[in-house]
Amino acid sequence: MKINTEGLQSFIPDDTIQALLQSESKAPASRIRDIIQKSLDKHRLDPAETAALLSVKDPELKSMIFEGAHELKERIYGNRIVLFAPLYVGNECINDCVYCGFRISNQECARHTLSHDELVNETKALVNNGHKRLIMVYGEHPMYDPRFIADTVQTVYETKFNKGEIRRVNINAAPMDIEGYRIVKSVGIGTYQIFQETYHQKTYEKLHPTGPKSNFLWRLDGLDRAMKAGIDDLGIGALMGLYDWRFEVMGLLYHAIHLEDTFGVGPHTISFPRIEPAIGTEFTQHPPFKVSDEDFKLLVAVIRLSVPYTGLILTAREPIAVRNEVLPLGISQIDAGSSIGVGDYAHKDDESRKKSQFVLGDTRPLDDVIYELAKDGYIPSFCTSCYRAGRTGEHFMEFAIPGFVKRFCTPNALLTFAEYLDDYSSERTKAQGQKLIDFELSRLEDTEMKASLTEKLAKLKAGQRDLYY
Ligand code: SAM
Ligand code: SF4
């Protein structure tokens, strides 16, 4: 792959962002209320409006933003939480990102790339826990070229184990050239995710000193090239703690607007991981712009309101208490039962820590997370129906098509949840889950849908699998 940034220009207007954060810092309550209402009316916010929300300090106004984000999530997306797991394929890396345990200069990292058999075993272990959706993660290395990535995705799709299989694979890997994306697209990936890490170019260049990733523009243009290759299901993200989090949220918004303006489609998901400690990586002990839990809550709520049509991903980097607090503010997807050491699902050993990119905050098994979600009234969903029925951009459809959630998402969530309960759950989760399913059925207003779903649930009980609308 040849990196070529000729003719590329950044679409992140640093000075305008700083000026907006300054000029909008004293927006009155009436303006904040109007901005929240605009979002509830299903409009993406403009940069000045997002800057106004980001600058709020007053506790009452902050509560208003939290309530607005919660209402938007409930009203548009309902009470489902989509579950997935990360699968780390290899931690070789030629970059030197100062915050990452996989960076080339980290002598303490135990390098490993899954062999074909190991990948199959990892997949079986994940299937055996009940997973249906994965994000496959790769370091950046000539070994992990597009063909390798495509082959590994294919191996995962082909692996069946007992009653289950992985039905959707998303990717988090280095940006490619257009030809590379075409190869990866050909095996049927879901979302292609690239985090810009920081949208502040000067900071970016300081923290990514060598390797292909040191080129800010090549990375910023990474999702444009994916679009040009026909992949329109894309995830953006920023790693929180590298620069001012308010600037990063503005950067994410400008990225979304750029994709909308250029291709007519915005990002499918937004991620906002905070830096976690990584072995041999001093930088992670004291991130220069560490985001407090309180600011993190506001950050999530503001992203929810700013780009109402995207899915928001909250990872197991966050500790349980933070996850519980942030979930109601508009999160649509979480990973659960995650292991991030290469090869950890099938075989955890003493070296696992050294093969991990960082340390997780939430290490509960999948079944415990599902139990807690059901207890709190969320429907855990493993739904992959849009992807498999050729309806790309599931979150956008949920957002844009009236009645879509009621007709597709909720019934499909319940079907996949029922399948999980039958095949993989503990007795405790089964009892809690059945209560939730009964409750959700009882409040379905559409009598035709209720009858049809009841019939499909009975078919599942009788042993049929993979039923969806
Ligand atoms: N190597 C590819 C890349 O850099 O794009 C693929 C993904 S990398 C393995 C996944 C993401 O993990 C990075 O984009 C970064 O945002 C995040 N990450 C790296 N170090 C981290 C840390 N110490 N804590 C939390 N997230 C981290
Ligand atoms: Fe390599 Fe990605 Fe880690 Fe950077 S973030 S060192 S590119 S694995």
Per-residue pLDDT tens for 349-380?
A: 777 777 787 889 999 999 999 999 999 999 99
* CA 275 to ligand 2 center in whole angstroms: 13
Distance CA 129, CA 163 (A): 11
Domain map of the chain by residue range? Answer: 14-72, 79-385, 392-461
pLDDT at 416: 97
- Report the CATH number of the 79-385 domain: 3.20.20.70
Distance CA 336, CA 344 (A): 14
Nearest Cα neighbor of 185 from 228, 144, 215, 221 is 228
Q: What's the Cα-to-Cα distance from 376 to each of 18, 293, 300, rounded to whole Å?
A: 40, 21, 20
- The reply to whether ligand 2 has any atom less than 6 angstroms from the CB of 248 is no
pLDDT at 386: 87
Ligand 1: which of 97, 100, 170 to mutate, most ligand atoms within 8 Å of CB?
100
Q: Under a CB-based contact definition with an 8 Å cutoff, are residues 254 and 303 in contact?
A: no
Q: What are phi and psi of 312, to 5 degrees?
A: -110, 135
Give residue ranges with CB within 6 A of ligand 1.
99-100, 137-140, 172-174, 194-195, 197, 239, 273, 275-276, 278, 284, 317, 357-358
In the chain, the amino acid numbered 286 is H
Show the low-confidence residues of the chain (pLDDT under 70): none
pLDDT at 442: 94
- The reply to whether ligand 2 has any atom less than 6 angstroms from the CB of 103 is yes
pLDDT at 108: 93
Residue nearest to atom 4 of ligand 1 (CA): 174
Distance CA 459, CA 89 (A): 36
* CA 158 to ligand 2 center in whole angstroms: 28
CA atoms within 13 A on the CB side of 34: 9
Distance CA 31, CA 47 (A): 14
pLDDT at 353: 74
In the chain, the amino acid numbered 313 is I
Residue nearest to atom 14 of ligand 1 (CA): 195
Closest-lying ligand to the alpha carbon of 213?
2
Distance CA 134, CA 166 (A): 7
* CA 100 to ligand 1 center in whole angstroms: 6
* CA 282 to ligand 1 center in whole angstroms: 16
pLDDT at 398: 85
Distance CA 24, CA 392 (A): 36
Distance CA 46, CA 254 (A): 9
pLDDT at 387: 83
* CA 358 to ligand 1 center in whole angstroms: 9
pLDDT at 390: 82
* CA 98 to ligand 1 center in whole angstroms: 11
* CA 421 to ligand 2 center in whole angstroms: 37
